[in-house]
Amino acid sequence: MNTRALPIAVASRWRAYAELTKPRVVALMLFTALAGMLLATHAAVPWRVLVFGLVGIGLMAGAAAAVNHLVDARADALMARTRARPLPRGVLRRAEVAGFAALTGAAGLALLLAFTNPLCAALTLASLVGYAFVYSVVLKPRTPQNIVIGGAAGATPPLLGWVAVSGQLDANALALFLIILTWTPPHFWALAIHRRADYARAGVPMLPVTHGVAFTARRIAAYTALLGGVSVLPVATGLAGPLYLASAAVLDARFAWLAWRLCGDERWAMPTFRYSIVYLAALFAALLVDHWWRV
């Protein structure tokens, strides 16, 4: 028995399980969930709610991502961007991925029930079902509007963070939700333009595949313009003030400029996609800075 090979094999499997959770995506989601928690109160968030609430939301997001790996395994094997995922490369079996999703989801739900409140747990479970099944199973393989409709599941993290602390939904929580809901289509469509050959090969009807690059670029421009209006909703609801408004104006202007360049040259697809990630993180950071500035 090779005693040196065993730790390497164990580490490789742990990395494969970690890959199932799509850690970069979950990290951005958890940042917006954290922002929702901190914005929900001017007092300190109870540490148990903060820690176990975020862990619970993160575990359930990871479970949803693992189910997505199961559903998309065939398509992932055909796409250059995803063929190195654990299932296509044979590192994990389908039963192992299903077991991981079930255990992770159950643990996350238990933490949310124990340390937050039933509304937060129910909404997080609904988000998991929405992403893992409604989006991945029903919408993604059937309609080019998949990300417009299914994006609702991915837009919930700041709302979940808010509800974890406050125990209720209100206009402020919905404003945070609407920002990510509006942000999601231009974010994903920019990547889809760049990867449209992959999606076509896998038979996924993403908008650039079904309607072409020019049409998709115009839709991206339209959504970024809409996002410019939606991003000021926290000011309208009283959640944010002038500091956030100024920050949002600068961030929105940059996003709109990139979308405009993309309409004339598809080579701007990846710069637009990369900026969209910076945009969302910076926008929620600006919300937090504005919140603390006005305390």
* pLDDT-derived band at 7, boundaries 50, 70, 90: low
Cβ pair 146, 209 in contact under 8 A = no
**pLDDT tens per residue, range 151-204:** 888 899 999 999 999 999 999 999 999 999 999 999 999 999 999 999 999 899
Residue 254, pLDDT above cutoff 70: yes
Residue 1, pLDDT above cutoff 50: no
Beta carbons within 8 Å of 227's beta carbon, 6+ residues apart: 179, 182, 183, 186, 252, 255
Two structure tokens written together for 137: 């199973």
**pLDDT tens per residue, range 106-145:** 999 999 999 999 999 999 999 999 988 888 888 888 899 8
Burial class (CB in 10 A: 0-12, 13-18, 19+), 270: middle
> Which pLDDT value is given to residue 227?
98
Two structure tokens written together for 36: 């929702």
Domain ranges of the chain: 11-168, 170-295
Place of tokens 């494969």: 16
- Closest CA relative to residue 26, chosen from 50, 61, 52: 61
* pLDDT-derived band at 290, boundaries 50, 70, 90: very high
Cα–Cα distance, 112 to 48 (Å, whole number): 10
**pLDDT tens per residue, range 197-229:** 999 998 999 999 999 999 999 999 999 999 999
In degrees, rounded to 5, the angle at the alpha carbon of residue 60 between the alpha carbons of residues 239 and 285 is 30
Cβ pair 32, 176 in contact under 8 A = yes
* pLDDT-derived band at 2, boundaries 50, 70, 90: very low
Two structure tokens written together for 227: 């996002």
- Closest CA relative to residue 58, chosen from 92, 31, 39: 31
Looking at this protein, which amino acid is placed at residue 250?
A: V
Place of tokens 């050959």: 197
Q: What is the DSSP letter of 81?
A: T
For the chain, where are the alpha helices, taking DSSP H only?
5-20, 23-39, 47-71, 73-78, 94-115, 118-129, 146-154, 157-166, 171-194, 196-202, 207-211, 213-230, 233-236, 242-264, 269-294
**pLDDT tens per residue, range 46-101:** 999 999 999 999 999 999 999 998 988 888 888 888 888 888 888 889 999 999 99
The CA-to-CA distance between both ends of the chain, in Å, stands at: 62
- For the whole model, what pTM was predicted? 0.93
| Fold of the CATH domain 11-168 | Tetracycline Repressor; domain 2 (1.10.357)
Cα–Cα distance, 121 to 114 (Å, whole number): 9
Gyration radius (Cα) of the chain, Å: 20
> Which pLDDT value is given to residue 6?
44
> Which pLDDT value is given to residue 295?
63
Cα–Cα distance, 113 to 126 (Å, whole number): 14
Could you give phi then psi for residue 70, rounded to 5 degrees? -65, -50
Cβ pair 243, 286 in contact under 8 A = yes
**pLDDT tens per residue, range 12-44:** 777 888 887 788 888 999 999 999 999 999 899
Residue 233: how many CB atoms within 10 A of its CB? 20
Q: What is the DSSP letter of 241?
A: -
